[in-house]
Structure 1
């Protein structure tokens, strides 16, 4: 449901603040750190202020309240991890006695220390949580029409990013168009530092492009339907040109699910089924483009032995790190600090492990059992709402069906990567949840 806005905060101001933050994350939030994060954090300030003024607990639906608990729990946990503790208490926590012993051996004096083993890593994680929570809470206070405008803005910006990806792929390596050329020197990467996260964004927005095409088709708006189907084809091709294996697989799954549901979804204002041929034609065009422009790179990636991927090594030794710091964890954002000492020298490579490439494991390491409880709460909430949306998809309409599909793209990707730790993916995911965790009566 849409939450009633606070008096004195007009919807226009709230929508503009949300649009500013959405634009900032899609243009500057694809990197890991640096000036891009500063831009995002500055753009998040008005959204955070308005979200605090407008979000109300009483009129919120049960799924929205559950999501609010998850956000507040994660933020509160990060704050608690930053509170200094006396050495006697800190030494009682798993893994901390070794840290204190190392400090004593190095003759470094210290007073009270926080629970987290990476103070600035936890601060960065806290800021990222505030960005996500502020956008989601603010979006929940907007009307469905306003959220649709934000969605279309995201699709337009993603399409421009896809076009940049095409240019990057055509220009090859050492192109000035690659703003993070130290990472993935070939294929499409857009404004991201990681091609997997670029592909995840394309796959997450793909169902919405198809849904808007279906919606326009049911309302006999042929030019608009053709435009949205063209956007869907471009996003699909961009995901393939990233040469991300998981990203392409998720794009294929999202496209297939969207096409299947498109033939069953009806518009409440104009009864009648949508013929499946139109979205299928858009996907066929994308597949033809993939066959011509992306197949060589994809086939090369598929020939690589997946068992040689460093992700399996991160999982193996990451589990050792999780066991060492249970039940409270090592602190949000501290993975790189606690993983490195547990990786055997003989197993080390020329790359440095910044993340576990499995967000469940990384959350277990950094936030312990409380973090796992938060993840399970989020998953149960999304699964229950998705089940209801897909069972009664005719009543809900194409947008909520698309949100049900899109929500699982970054969640599934998080099992082998860390897309939700990138601002651009996280905020768009918050927009998806603002559609999904809403009442059906509002979303028709």
Structure 2
């Protein structure tokens, strides 16, 4: 190995690790179930990557690095608190513990010590699941500004690959080997996922990513027609790919993704052209609008728009509004401590109305914000308010300063998180390792503009080129 090659490998070792870990997650992390066999590969290797991510931090870190580390540890601590055994006298006074307390008295004569979580095994699974996005965050923090930008086209390529795989699934049989998971939406275009809604969410995220990629290349003076045509040709087919997933939420999120992509590209063009004293060209936006409208109409004409049909059709088996009311009542009954991580299915079986009983069971609330309220109670409300408030502050600081490449990347990260937040209203996408990892990457993008420090206004010398 020549010295120059060895030096390049050392300089890019963090980037190589991040790409390798992202590849691992994309190939094994498409399901949110705890009994997926792919987790036997993903979780042990995640520990290995976590070790590589933490080791360099022993030599010091920047202010924002400490913030991320504290945030990551806090998530683990909050989940771990639900696994600490409490004395029976304390535990029995908590909401909805009376049924288990009566069982203990009947069998053992007294209430034994129990952890706060109603289902400790599922709480352990949730604790292990948190390591996947936390590892992604720590690996991203090892990258410099240039390398963080290089992750963007890699994520886009993985998303396009998942879309291509979904297209192949849509024209194959429902029992094709192209489906990676045993429990999945057979017959739908799920791509690398087990759930069509999660596939649609990833495809919707690609819109602001593509717009940000073009805008960043423009600011770095390396934009050419090939890059612009790549973004147009990659973005236009996303509409039919989202439609054939059969995801109704994907229709709404596609509109949100297109609007955010337009904002990113238009603001970038406006800032660049005003600096050069030129007018903003309107033909790329017009061409994209015409292509998207044409593909939308063609997809509907060919009757492959399953999402469009399901959106306007009636599907009593998925009437989520019907069971959100009893779930909300359950959350109030369990307030302020909640059922504990992973305890939703067990708790819901107690509160489920007779009119909603059927041979299937509800594994999640299909509204992750409501489910977090059920499982974590008052603590969840505090964390959600703090997180959304903090991200809103970052968005405010960066929205009017999208003229630099790093700030554009920050806006891409915020846009991706916004789409995930909206997608979680009707489903649970962030419980899948793929989506949680992309959100972790996006959060790092959103906070690490080159001209922002702990207060988002100065440069952090620890993480620059």
Q: TM-score, normalised by structure 2?
A: 0.84
Q: Distance in 2 between matches of 1:73 and 1:67?
A: 10
Equivalence for 2:99: 98
Residues 284, 253 of structure 1: alpha-carbon distance in 2 compared, 3 angstrom cutoff: farther
Residue 162 (structure 1) shift: 0.7
Residues 369, 193 of structure 1: alpha-carbon distance in 2 compared, 3 angstrom cutoff: same
The answer as to 2:386 corresponding to 1:377 is yes
Residue 366 (structure 1) shift: 0.9
Deviates more, 1:344-353 or 1:83-92: 344-353
Task: Indicate if the aligned counterparts of 2:169 and 2:188 stay in contact, CA closer than 8 A.
Answer: yes
Equivalent position SS for 1:98 = helix
Residue among 368, 372, 376 paired with 1:359? 368
Q: Distance in 2 between matches of 1:11 and 1:279?
A: 39
Q: Distance in 2 between matches of 1:350 and 1:17?
A: 45
Residues 207, 276 of structure 1: alpha-carbon distance in 2 compared, 3 angstrom cutoff: farther
Q: Alignment length, in residue pairs?
A: 434
Task: Indicate if the aligned counterparts of 2:412 and 2:445 stay in contact, CA closer than 8 A.
Answer: no
Equivalent position SS for 1:393 = coil
Residue among 299, 304, 310 paired with 1:293? 299
Which digits, 9 at most, give the CA deviation of each residue in 1:311-338, with x for residues without a partner? 2133111112212221111111111111
The answer as to 2:54 corresponding to 1:44 is no
Which digits, 9 at most, give the CA deviation of each residue in 1:350-396, with x for residues without a partner? 43111111222111111111122111111111111112221222245
Q: Distance in 1 between matches of 2:181 and 2:322?
A: 25
Equivalence for 1:334: 343
Residue among 250, 253, 258 paired with 2:256? 253
Which digits, 9 at most, give the CA deviation of each residue in 1:32-89, with x for residues without a partner? 232222222133223322333345886223xx66554443222101111111222122
Which digits, 9 at most, give the CA deviation of each residue in 1:392-434, with x for residues without a partner? 2224553332222112011111111111111100000111111
Q: Distance in 1 between matches of 2:154 and 2:391?
A: 24
Task: Indicate if the aligned counterparts of 1:66 and 1:377 stay in contact, CA closer than 8 A.
Answer: no
Residues 140, 226 of structure 1: alpha-carbon distance in 2 compared, 3 angstrom cutoff: same
Residue among 415, 426, 441 paired with 2:436? 426
Q: Distance in 2 between matches of 1:276 and 1:424?
A: 35
Residues 237, 114 of structure 1: alpha-carbon distance in 2 compared, 3 angstrom cutoff: same
Residue 305 (structure 1) shift: 4.2
Task: Indicate if the aligned counterparts of 1:386 and 1:404 stay in contact, CA closer than 8 A.
Answer: yes
Residues 383, 16 of structure 1: alpha-carbon distance in 2 compared, 3 angstrom cutoff: same
Deviates more, 1:12-21 or 1:300-309: 300-309
Deviates more, 1:215-224 or 1:425-434: 215-224
Task: Indicate if the aligned counterparts of 2:368 and 2:424 stay in contact, CA closer than 8 A.
Answer: yes
Q: Distance in 2 between matches of 1:279 and 1:402?
A: 18
In structure 2, list runs of 5 or more residues that go unmatched.
1-8, 452-458
Output aligned runs, 1:43-442, within 5 Å. Answer: 43-55=45-57, 59-61=62-64, 68-105=69-106, 111-180=112-181, 182-217=183-218, 219=221, 220-266=223-269, 272=276, 275-282=281-288, 284-293=290-299, 296=303, 297-305=306-314, 309-395=318-404, 397-441=407-451
Residues 440, 146 of structure 1: alpha-carbon distance in 2 compared, 3 angstrom cutoff: closer
Residue 293 (structure 1) shift: 2.9
Q: Distance in 2 between matches of 1:108 and 1:173?
A: 53
Equivalence for 1:5: none
Equivalent position SS for 1:189 = coil
Equivalence for 2:19: 19
Task: Indicate if the aligned counterparts of 1:266 and 1:398 stay in contact, CA closer than 8 A.
Answer: no
Q: Distance in 2 between matches of 1:28 and 1:292?
A: 34
